[in-house]
Amino acid sequence: MTLFELKDILEASILVGNEQLNREFDKCEASDLMSDILAGLSEGSVLLTGLTTVQVVRTAVVAGVGAIVFVRDKTPPQAVIDLARTEGVPLLTTPFSMFVSCGRLHAHGITGLNEMKQLLISARPVTN
């Protein structure tokens, strides 16, 4: 799914990243705990969060998150927008809750990170 499609599904506004509308995503994570994001398989995923601090962008950069969506119509402070622009991380805001946003994305084929982890675990060779 492209960032453009994600924007439409979530009825989101793009705060940063209009030039990245063709960027592709296939997995999503949703959390307000940035330690969970750092512990997951985040590379290239979409992060849904209600946090609007610079730590969200910094965590996204370290974890390799491809885009951040702020839920519940939250708009981050200008410092967050500026940092995301500098780091090249698209920022969006959606009127939907985190639960509804996850459901909408899942209904359109986006998988969660737990599903990705299970696939990796089941693909491991069994050793005796």
In DSSP notation, 28-54 reads EEE-S-HHHHHHS--TT-EEEES--SH
119: pLDDT confidence band, cut at 50, 70 and 90?
A: very low
Q: What is the CATH number of domain 3-123?
A: 3.40.1390.20
One-letter amino acid at 98 equals: M
* CA neighbor of 66 nearest in space, from 93, 27, 100, 98: 27
Write down the pTM of the prediction.
Answer: 0.87
> What is d(CA 14, CA 93) in angstroms, rounded to the nearest whole number?
7
Kindly state the average pLDDT of the residues 15-37: 92
Domain borders along the chain are: 3-123
**Cα–Cα distance for residue pair 123/73, rounded to 1 Å:** 39
Those residues whose C-beta lies under 8 Å from the C-beta of residue 21, and which sit 6 or more positions away, are 2, 3, 4, 7, 14
* Mean pLDDT value across residues 8-21: 97
Would you state the pLDDT for residue 120? 43
Q: What is the pLDDT of residues 83-92, one digit of tens each?
A: 999 999 999 9
Mean predicted confidence (pLDDT) in 3-31: 95
